[in-house]
Structure 1
Amino acid sequence: MTDKYVIPREKIKQLESLLNERDIDTLLIFSREGSDPILPFLIGEDTIHLGAALFNKNGRHIMLTSKSDEKKYYESGIFSKVKTYNTSMAEVFLKELNEINPGKLALNFSLEDAIGDGLSVGLYMMLEELITKDRLQKIEVSGEEIIRELCSVKTQTEVDCLRRCIQITNDIYDEVFTKVKCGMSEKEIGDLFVEGMKKRDVINGLGKPYDYPIVCIVRAGLAHRSPGDTKTIPGDIVIMDFSVRSEGYVSDIARTAYFLKPGETEPPTDIQHAFHTAYKAITAAINEIGPGKRGYEVDAVGRKVIEDGGFPTVRHSVGHPIGRQCHDSGTALRPLKENQDNRAAERKIQLMETYAIEPTVIQDGGLPCMLVEENVVIREYGAEILSRRQEKLYLITCE
């Protein structure tokens, strides 16, 4: 396990660089009762009472807090100054803000990104009273680009945490496939994943700690749904999409299995073709992704392989950022769309971002579907694959 303050200290150094690059004097995180999700990520601690963290481009950071919260902020080693208030923060806040006298004050609000939108309306109104509306309007800017980059561009420590999480996910898959048998229901297969999580003291990366992953028998309908009571039979394709949360980071890996009919030693040609097409599309997208590429460019490469294979176009994005959430901040690997905000797909991919790659064969009417999903980190040369690739369909013998 990584010390709880190692990553926050690394992220604060990253934040200082971003503030200087964008010529923003201060990022203010104003939070109470854990209302802003970015604060614990940045400093390893959350607020109980009203708190104001002033992160300054000169590296001298200030925390304004109640007496009861004071000690934990000292322990982080992040703040040059921790100032407390008794009943009202107003006087101490104005004193510190006036000393900084920021020309640009970044606030955590965003129209696009949830984690970049942690400042509540009530706290914004409180800021207007503290600073005055006129002064706030002159100096406020959105911190969304800074917050997004802090979340999307990982430190090596973060990548190491994610790598361990992915390894656990791979191990659980390996274990599950030694236990899956023909005749098991979707729920019974889901139970194997829950058992694997409990055994390794990790939790699901989506939903409640021990929720089922996605386990879909294709003939029963492919969708983001909970496993049902439908039992596997010979000839079934089963898709599994599973996330693990460990050390604060989340994997996202999908695998597909085929249940052999009596006398079969390999899947039918159409099923093999569907798998090989999905595999080729993932390979193409991984080969394409790299620093400076735009999200829609990566999407187009993976999508074309699926279409050239004779299958309908991918109904979702070819991939998405991963990190502290299953769908993290960063560049969207999806096509440009008319009459929509395409900024997320137009962004350039950066070094040390992490992605799930999943161009998918999706067909209706029980026709072969394939979902395979791999996790990567962006290096100077392109993508480093963090997951252990599924090279062929998992085959389950039905006796």
Structure 2
Amino acid sequence: MKGSSMELVHEKLEQAKILMQKYGIDTWLILTRESSDPALPLLVGVRSVHQAAIFLRSSGEHTVLASQSDSGTYKATGLFSVVRTYETSIESLFKSTWSELQIQKVALNISEGDHLCDGLTLGQYMWLEKITGKENLQKVEISSEDILNELRSVKSSTEIETISEAIQLTTDIFESVHRTIKPYMTEKEIGSLFVYEMKSRGVTSGLGAAYDPPLVCAVRHGLAHRKPSSRQVEPGDIVIVDFSLKHNDYVSDIARTFYFLKENEKAAPVEIEKAFQTVHEAITTSIAELIIGKKGYEVDAAGRKVIEEAGYPTIRHSVGHQIGRATHDGGTILGPKRTPARVAVEGVLREGEVYAIEPTVIQDEGLPCMLVEENVVVTDAGPKILSKRQDELWLVKA
């Protein structure tokens, strides 16, 4: 692994040790094959081809059981006190290690509500039951969801630095495209500008395949999570671009809105400018609510209120979500309160969480729509905006 990647994994494992002590868990077991568990890159940073058993310990003395071909990779990380190797079957080695460790409470990556915390496959869980005994396992097992949720959400200093770099690259690309974009280009052609800029900087898309274009939607052609179309953008169009970029395994998530001026226009029509200013105010209000201890639905309510009081339909999605290794990185969501309770929006904000803030104006029948998205980190001194804010509607001359 590269130096920065190694530093990051060491930070996260130290954080995991502290969390295990906090929750009274002596062992966190990750069973993986073909890198099946999404927690593996965060905690270990290497790809395991064959079946591996990773025993993370609250003492910091971690053990891994790996195949002969995989064991060298684990040793090279320097993360494990013990690396044990098997030739054809892991079973006997696993049984002896399980017995030796005298596990009192073991966390498993099982979750009903968060796919990022649900990395233990059914097949491997059934294998674990068979090896340890179903009743014995039930006495000691617990979901790792609380630990893994906090571990993913609360970013280390290296993670925040890497995310900030991704955000800066995203901002640079947006500004470059703004200088290049022209009327009568198709949505696909606009998307290709972003792909060119990613390749020239050695970065990739944060969503989908490596060089997928961002979401590019001329509002007149319909606003949805869709690929850019072959339809042209004309003067008088509002164009929304929602762009997630991946840099060193961490992502940004930023959206900008353009207005294509008609001939002889020097500014956008009043109703379009009003929609932009409403969204800008809603973002400012939402960011001000990003205080440690606030609940997700409280932040959502503040931003949502601005949109509704301006006379627009209520927001169709959440006001914000976390970013990190994924564009939607799990944990607390800044969404509306519901009955029955939605666990993710009941979560509280913690120092080190990074949020994408996106209260929107979305209307049908050709009425103005507006999407602007900013990235913000929660700190003990208050919210810190990581992205360069869009303070005015971006105009494209005829």
Distance, in Å, in 1 between the alignment partners of 2:227 and 2:41 is: 31
What does the per-residue CA deviation read over 1:72-118, in whole Å, with 9 as the maximum and x for residues that have no partner? 11111111111112222222212222222121111111101112111
Q: Deviations over 1:321-347 (max 9, x none)?
A: 1000000021011001224x5110000
Q: Structure 2 CA distance, aligned partners of 1:313 and 1:381?
A: 31
Residue in 2 that maps onto 1:239? 240
* Corresponding residue of 2:370: 370
Q: What is aligned with 1:325?
A: 326
Q: Deviations over 1:107-138 (max 9, x none)?
A: 11110111211111111111111111110011
What letter is aligned with 2:44? I
Matched, 1:90 2:116: no
Residue 40 of structure 1 deviates from its aligned partner by 2.4
Query: Hey, what does 1:121 align to over in structure 2?
Result: 122
Distance (whole Å) between structure 1 residues aligned to residue 169 and residue 150 of structure 2 = 27
What is the distance in 1 between the residues matched to 2:380 and 2:133? 46
Match of 2:284 in 1: 283
Per-residue displacement from partner, 1:23-76 (whole Å, max 9, x unpaired)? 011000011111112122211112111110000111110011111111111111
1:360 aligns to 2:360 (yes or no): yes
Secondary structure of the 1:106 match is: strand
Query: How far, CA to CA, are the matches of 1:115 and 1:367 in structure 2?
Result: 37
SS at structure 1 position matched to 2:211:
coil
Q: CA deviation at 1:2?
A: 5.0
Letter in structure 2 aligned against 1:76: T
Q: Which residue of 2 aligns with 1:207?
A: 208
* Correspondence list, 1:10-21, <5 A: 10-21=11-22
Q: Which residue matches 1:42?
A: 43
Asked whether 1:104 is paired with 2:101, we answer: no
1:263 aligned partner: 264
Give the match for residue 58 of structure 1.
Answer: 59
**DSSP 3-state at the match of 1:5:** helix
Written as runs of structure 1 = structure 2, the 5 A alignment for 1:331-342 is 331-339=332-340, 341-342=341-342
1:267-299 per-position Cα deviation (integer Å, ceiling 9, x unaligned)? 111111100000000000000112101000000
Letter in 2 for 1:187: K
Query: Which runs of 5 or more structure 1 residues have no equivalent in the other structure?
Result: none
Deviates more, 1:360-369 or 1:68-77: 68-77
Q: What does residue 162 of structure 1 align with?
A: 163
Q: Distance in 1 between matches of 2:51 and 2:282?
A: 49
Match of 2:28 in 1: 27
Identity of aligned residues (%): 50
Q: Which amino acid aligns with 1:23?
A: G
Q: One-letter code of the match for 1:385? A: I
For structure 2, the residue ranges without an aligned partner over 5 or more in a row are none
SS at match of 2:5: coil
Question: Which residue of structure 1 aligns with residue 173 of structure 2?
Answer: 172
Deviation for aligned residue 1:192: 0.6
Once the two structures are overlaid, the 10-residue window that deviates more, 79-88 or 295-304, is 79-88
Partner of 2:195: 194
* Partner SS for 1:361: coil
- For 1:2 and 1:365, the matched residues in 2 are separated by 52
Q: Quick one: which amino acid aligns to residue 62 of structure 2?
A: H
RMSD: 1.0
TM-score, with length taken from structure 2: 0.98
Report how far residue 154 of structure 1 moved: 0.5
Judge which range, 163-172 or 33-42, deviates more: 33-42
TM-score for the superposition, normalised by structure 1: 0.98
- Distance, in Å, in 1 between the alignment partners of 2:237 and 2:228 is 15
Mapped to 2, the partners of 1:197 and 1:356 lie a distance apart of 20
CA deviations 1:240-283 (Å, max 9, x no partner) are 10110110001100000111112211111111110000000000
What one-letter code is carried by the residue in structure 1 that aligns with 2:365? Answer: G
Q: Distance in 2 between matches of 1:354 and 1:172?
A: 21
